[in-house]
Amino acid sequence: MPKRHAIPSFVGLRTFEAVARHGSFRRAAGELNVTESAVSHQIAALEASLDTKLFVRQPGGVQLSASGEILIPFMREAFDQIENGTALLRRDQSEGGLTLQIYVTLAVRWLIPRLHRFRHAHPDIRLAIDSSLMDWDFVPKAADMAIVYAQAPKRTGIDYVHLFDTSLVLVANPKLARRIAKARDLANLTALEVSSAPDDLETWFSSDRRARPETVEKFDSYLLAIEAAIDGLGFMVAPELLVRSDILAGKLAEPMKTKVAQSGGWYLAYQSRKRTDRRIQAFRKWIQDEIRA
């Protein structure tokens, strides 16, 4: 058999990949839970073993050298393969477990009321819901797939399957809604705004050049803002799918029938290399059938 060259330290290679991804010794140290000095030592040792410089030091960070640019795609592929192998082990050990990243409001108001049908159709797949993430985009390290809202989703290595579009509607509790007949009636009322979705109010009010209300109270999730609207603390503009059940239940009313299309859409996201995973395929088909129904 051909003689293999000595492979550099795995720790050094892992440190190299982290620094290359972050462009910073400090941020790589934070991810690896070591000191910045330890990162610098590992990179120096790796460069010595390869007899080449891998980074060009610059104020505020580092950039890959020509040698580093050659090495990094091989390292990324290697770590992807390691992740694939360990993921297979975890999947076997979890007996079909699947984790879905989803915004808490969408989970509570839309997914959970339908979830019993998925469990009935696929009793062998244990679906875990993760709504603890604040990131609005898919986080592959934390979940197998995600339902996300995006305007132009495009990330290398991620498949985005369009699920549906929705409109923005203005809602308030029934008592407050009786005071709203025209846009000018909103001027002296309190608007409830979701901090991570400030475009909702702007989009709805700018559709007919309406003047925005002067008083705006902010909430960190749609769920909290919806509950505040139900309690009569103000009106809000929200994606229709998140408030439809409350409108049907009589908890919220839609005093103005103006609907304004959201600029983005809702997508199921997962890593491209996992598109053949039977569990993800099963969930994808199920949720598309639910939406069509």
Overall domain count for the chain? 3
In a domain, 216, yes or no: yes
Q: Between these two residues, 151 and 92, which has the higher pLDDT value?
A: 151
Q: What pLDDT is recorded for position 133? A: 55
| Same domain for 172 and 256 | yes
In a domain, 2, yes or no: no
Q: What pLDDT is recorded for position 211? A: 64
| Same domain for 176 and 56 | no
Q: What pLDDT is recorded for position 171? A: 95
- What mean pLDDT do residues 168-175 have? 94
Winning range, highest mean pLDDT, from 8-22, 135-149, 208-222, 223-237: 223-237
d(CA 269, CA 137): 9
Domain-terminating residue out of 41, 76, 91 = 91
| Same domain for 155 and 17 | no
- What mean pLDDT do residues 8-12 have? 81
| Same domain for 180 and 157 | no
Least confident of 68-77, 95-104, 259-268: 95-104
Which residue, among 104, 92, 123, 124, has the nearest Cα to 225 in the 3D structure? 104
Q: What pLDDT is recorded for position 3? A: 45
| Same domain for 257 and 139 | no
**pLDDT surpasses 50 at 57:** yes
- At residue 12 the predicted structure's pLDDT band, cuts being 50, 70 and 90, is confident
Q: What pLDDT is recorded for position 252? A: 95
- Compute the mean pLDDT over every residue in the chain, rounded to the nearest whole number: 85
- What CATH number is given to the structural domain containing 140? 3.40.190.10
**pLDDT surpasses 50 at 4:** no
| Same domain for 251 and 176 | yes
Kindly report, residue by residue over 192-249, the tens digit of the pLDDT: 998 877 788 888 888 666 667 778 898 888 888 999 999 999 999 999 989 999 999 9
Q: What pLDDT is recorded for position 262? A: 84
- What mean pLDDT do residues 240-261 have? 91
**pLDDT surpasses 50 at 27:** yes
Distance of CA 168 to the CA centre of its chain: 20
In a domain, 133, yes or no: yes
Kindly report, residue by residue over 71-96, the tens digit of the pLDDT: 988 888 877 777 766 555 555 444 45
Residue-range definition of the domain harbouring residue 72? 10-91
Q: What pLDDT is recorded for position 141? A: 82
- At residue 53 the predicted structure's pLDDT band, cuts being 50, 70 and 90, is very high
Look up the pTM and report it. Answer: 0.62
